Amino acid sequence: MTQLTLASILTQPVGVSHYLIVGAVLFVCGALCMATKRNALGVLMGIELVLNGANLNFIAFGSPYLRKASETMGLDGQLMSLFVIVLAAAEAAVALAIALNFYNSFNTIDVDRADQLQG
């Protein structure tokens, strides 16, 4: 079995490993964005990046190129990805409603000011 290095990855045709690398990069960028942003919209963008990275990995793992054709179950990765997209849309709608309500109360969407929320 050949060892995967950066030079070998760049010279190979596009395969499952390329999708996994891009998905991991998206996931890490989203996690960094969630950890460093103080703006609520920036945190939401980080969450979307994390979910898109996970979607790309689901689709790559559901690829028939990863397993033998007789062992693949078809559309598992695509169905999980569709479920995550629906979940992300619902999360974005609820989170934006919370952000708008927070902005109406405090005239900012800085998440550090959220220590005095009331029910």
Q: In the numeric block, which tokens belong to residue 77? A: 């990765």
Pick the CATH number of 15-110 from 3.60.150.10, 1.10.287.3510, 1.10.3470.10, 1.10.357.10: 1.10.287.3510
Domain extents in the chain: 15-110
Phi then psi dihedrals of residue 110, to 5 deg = -70, 120
What pLDDT, in 10s, does the model give residues 61-93? 877 776 655 555 567 778 888 888 898 889 888
Q: What burial class does residue 115 get, using C-beta atoms within 10 Å of its C-beta: 0-12 exposed, 13-18 middle, 19+ buried?
A: exposed
Percent of the chain with pLDDT over 90: 18
3-class DSSP assignment, residue 4: coil
> What is the block-wise mean pLDDT of the chain (119 residues), using blocks of 10 residues?
67 78 93 88 88 88 67 72 88 85 79 64
- Position 73 scores a pLDDT of 58
